[in-house]
């Protein structure tokens, strides 16, 4: 992956999760139906280059 804003290619991954930060389907309010977000972060500027739902099957 190359970050278009700067042409950098140095990234790290992090996870945004926990009981208050998980992504939940709008139509389904059950607690067990949430999933953390996986973030790809530019290690030069700290900007988030991408976000991906880890457990996408919970939204189908």
pLDDT in tens, 6-53: 666 788 998 887 767 766 666 665 556 778 888 898 888 888 888 998
- The DSSP output letter for 10 is -
* Predicted structure pTM score: 0.64
Q: Identify the pLDDT of residue 53.
A: 87
CB 16 within 8 A of CB 34: no
Q: How confident is the model at residue 4 (pLDDT cuts 50, 70, 90)?
A: low
| Rounded alpha-carbon distances, angstroms, from residue 20 to 16, 41, 60 | 10, 21, 21
- The Cα–Cα gap between 20 and 22 comes to 6
Q: Identify the pLDDT of residue 55.
A: 82
């Amino acid at each position: 992956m190359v970050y278009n804003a700067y042409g950098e290619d140095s990234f790290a991954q992090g996870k945004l999760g926990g009981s208050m930060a998980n992504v939940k389907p709008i139509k389904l309010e059950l607690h067990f139906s949430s999933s953390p977000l996986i973030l790809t972060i530019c290690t030069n500027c700290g900007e988030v280059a991408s976000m991906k739902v880890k457990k996408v099957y919970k939204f189908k």
